[in-house]
Structure 1
Amino acid sequence: MKHASKRHAGAVVAVLSGLALALTTTTAHAAPGDPDVIAHRGSSGMAPENTAAAIDLAVTQRADFVEIDVQQTKDGKLVNFHDCTMERTTNIEDLYPNRPRYRVSDFTWNELRRLDTGSWFHKKYTGEPLITLDDVIRAIDRTRTGLLAEISPCSHYTDIATDLAHHLDTKPSYLHRALARHQLAVQ
C-alpha cells in the first residue's frame, strides 16, 4: 500500500471537513426548514471513512444523518464500504496478495473482518475494522442521527437493493422507529 500520499490526502480532507462541520454543527435543527447536516461516510474528514470511529464521531457531532455505502460480501453480509475495490483504504493487498480482484463481493465476511481500514488515514486508527450495516444501525439506533444508506453503484451487484430491503425488514423495531422519525433514507 502507498501510505504517504494517502495520509496527506486524509489530513487535507480532515481539515476541510472539520471546518465545514464546525460551521454547520451549531446550526443543525435551529429552525424548521433548515438544511440537514449529513456526515458523508460518517465524519470522514476527521476519522477514516465508513468506520465505526467515523460513525460514532458523526453521532457525537450531532449530524442529522450519516451517509454510508452498502456492499455485499461473497457470503451475503451487508457491509459499509464505498469503493468498488478495497486497495485505497485497506491493507487487503498485504493480507491477501495476488488475488485476481479486490472487490468486497470477492471475499467472505470472515476474510474481510481481518482488514485494517484505518491506518491509511492516520496511525492512531491502525486496526480499525471494516463494519457491517448492523454495526452502523447499532451505533445510530436511539440517537438523533438518521441513516442515509447508499446502495453501491458498483456494476457487479444486481440484487443488492432487494437484499438491503429484506435485511431492514429483519430489524422491525429499528425500521419502524426510523421511519416514524424520518430517520431513514435509501439512495
Structure 2
Amino acid sequence: MKGLLQGMSFFITAAVLMTGCMGSREAVGTKALQDTAKTGRGEIFSSRAGVPYKAVIAHRGASYYAPESTEQAYILARQMGAEYLEIDLQRTRDGVLIASHCNDLSQKSNILDVFPGRAKNRMSDFTLAELKSLDAGSWFNDRFPGRARSSFVNAKISTLEEVINIAEGKLANGQPDPNDNGNRPGLYIETKVATFFPGIEKDLYELLKKRGWLATSVKKAPAGFDPAKNVGVQFTTGRTILQTFEPESLPLLNKYMPETPKCFLLWLYTKQEAMDWGSEKVDQFAPDANLAKTYGPLRKDEPLNQAEGETYAQFSAKWEILSEENYRMWLKWAKDNGALAVGPGTRLAGYNDPEKGDQSYMDLIDPWFNETAHDMGMLVHAYTLDETVDMARANASGVDGMFTNRPDVLLRFYGKTLHAGLEEIFTAYGW
C-alpha cells in the first residue's frame, strides 16, 4: 500500500497544480462530465487502492429491507453482492465495538420498555449484555408495515466482530453459514461521534489487526475462488475503508492505520454553528465545526434557521458552499490527514417528499465538486442513494461509488451481478 500511495503522488501533485488554474464553477461544470469520461481518473485511483470502481456500499447493510445494522440486514447485503458492508461504530460501557448509527436508542429499539429511566442515555452507558437484551427489529415493522416480517421481531444490534463474521461468509455468531453463496465483501467503517468514545481509533486498530482486516494483512483468496463469479473485495488492499465526519478522528485513524484507505465525510457548517461548537445544539450534528473554526465555514450563513413547516431536507437543500477556494482547503486538509476519498451528501430528487427525502441533505455532487476531488487525487463516494433517478444523476456527475440502503437496486443500475434476489434470500434463511 505504501508503494501504491507513492505511485499516486505524481497524479496528486499534478492535480494540485492544476487546481489553481481552474476557472469559474460554470466552466468547470460544463466540462466536468467530458473530462471525467476522458481521463477515467476515478477508475485509476480506485484500481491502485484495491477499491472497486463504482463501489456498491451497503449502508448499515441492506437496511431498506431489514432493520439496520442487524444480522439480517448484513447477510442480505452480502448475499446480494454488495461490495462493502457499511458500519457506524460505537463502543459499549464494557469496551465492545458495536454497529449502531443512533446514540439515542429510543427510536429504533424497545429501550423505553426495558430501561425507561435510561432511554436517552448514550450508547457508552450500556453494557453489551444490556444492548443485546433489546429488540432492535420491531420498530422497523411498525414504521414500514409494507416491509414488515415476523422474523424481525427481537432482532439484535450487531457487534463489529459479528459483522466481520458475516463478511467472511459465516453467521453472526461465527458458525458456518449453510446458505453462504461465496461473496466476500469488504468493510466500510465509520467512527461515529468519536469524541464520545476516546481511544476508539486505537481499539478499532487492535480489533482489525486481530482479525486480519488491515490493508497490510491481506489474505489470499482460497483455491478455486473466481472474482468474476463472486465478490472478493476482502482479498484486496481496499478490503477495509475507514470513514469519519470528525476532524479529530481522521488524523488518529491515519496514525494507527496509515496504509488503510480512509474517507472524509462532508457536512456543511455555518460560521455561527462553528462558533457554537460544544453546545448541546451543535452536538446533535455531524461535528465538522472544529475544522470550520480552523479553515472557515464550508457553507454560507444564510439560511441559518429552518422556516416554519419546512422539513430538514427542504432546509438543507438551500445550503450553498461559501466558496470554491474554501472547499478545496477542506479537501486538502483531508488529503493531508490520510483521506483517499471524500464522502459528499446529496440533494435527492424527492427531497420534498417526506417518505423519500429523509436522507436528502445539502448537494455536494455537482460535477465541479467531483472534478475538484479528482484533481487532488481523491475518490468520491456519495451518500445515501436509493432511487435510480438519484443514482443516475450522481453517476453522471462523476462519483466513484455510492452508499445505498438498497444494494440490489444499485447493483442493477451499475450493471453488476445481483447474486441473489430479496425473496430468494428470505426464503433460504426462513425469514
TM-score by length of 2: 0.34
Q: What CA distance in whole angstroms lies between the structure 2 residues aligned with 1:103 and 1:74?
A: 10
Q: What CA distance in whole angstroms lies between the structure 1 residues aligned with 2:127 and 2:53?
A: 42
2:118 equivalent in structure 1: 99
Aligned residue for 1:120, secondary structure, equals: helix
% identical aligned pairs: 36
1:184 equivalent in structure 2: 240
1:28 equivalent in structure 2: none
Contact 2:138-2:154 at 8 Å conserved across structures: yes
Contact 1:67-1:148 at 8 Å conserved across structures: yes
**Alignment equivalent of 2:104, drawn from 46, 70, 85:** 85
Q: CA-to-partner distance for each residue in 1:87-123, whole Å, 9 max, x for gaps?
A: 1111111101112743210001111111111111125
CA drift of 1:48 comes to 0.6
Q: What CA distance in whole angstroms lies between the structure 1 residues aligned with 2:186 and 2:61?
A: 11
1:170-181 aligned at under 5 Å gives the runs 170-172=210-212, 174-175=213-214, 176=217, 177=219, 178=234, 180-181=236-237
**Alignment equivalent of 2:70, drawn from 37, 45, 51:** 51
Aligned residue for 2:139, secondary structure, equals: coil
Gaps of 5+ in 2: 1-46, 142-148, 170-182, 220-233, 244-431
Q: What CA distance in whole angstroms lies between the structure 2 residues aligned with 1:62 and 1:180?
A: 16
Q: What CA distance in whole angstroms lies between the structure 1 residues aligned with 2:240 and 2:55?
A: 13
Aligned residue identity for 1:52:
E
1:33-182 aligned at under 5 Å gives the runs 34-99=53-118, 101-122=120-141, 123-124=149-150, 125-141=152-168, 143-153=183-193, 155-172=195-212, 174-175=213-214, 176=217, 177=219, 178=234, 180-182=236-238
Q: What CA distance in whole angstroms lies between the structure 1 residues aligned with 2:119 and 2:187?
A: 33
Describe the shift of the 1:154–1:161 C-alpha distance in structure 2 as closer, same or farther (beyond 3 A). closer
Aligned residue identity for 2:209:
D
Q: What CA distance in whole angstroms lies between the structure 1 residues aligned with 2:157 and 2:65?
A: 17
Gaps of 5+ in 1: 1-31
CA drift of 1:52 comes to 0.6
Q: What CA distance in whole angstroms lies between the structure 2 residues aligned with 1:57 and 1:159?
A: 32
Q: What CA distance in whole angstroms lies between the structure 2 residues aligned with 1:92 and 1:38?
A: 29
Contact 1:87-1:102 at 8 Å conserved across structures: no
Q: How many residues align?
A: 155
Contact 2:111-2:119 at 8 Å conserved across structures: no
Once the two structures are overlaid, the 10-residue window that deviates more, 127-136 or 146-155, is: 146-155
Aligned residue identity for 1:129:
K
CA drift of 1:127 comes to 0.7
1:21 equivalent in structure 2: none
Aligned residue identity for 1:53:
Q
Contact 2:104-2:119 at 8 Å conserved across structures: no
2:384 equivalent in structure 1: none
Report the structure number with the largest CA radius of gyration: 2
Aligned residue identity for 2:197:
Y
Aligned residue identity for 1:184:
T
TM-score by length of 1: 0.76
Aligned residue identity for 2:238:
H
Aligned residue for 1:134, secondary structure, equals: helix
Structure 1 segments of 4+ aligned residues over 6 angstroms from their partners:
none
CA drift of 1:154 comes to 5.4
2:368 equivalent in structure 1: none
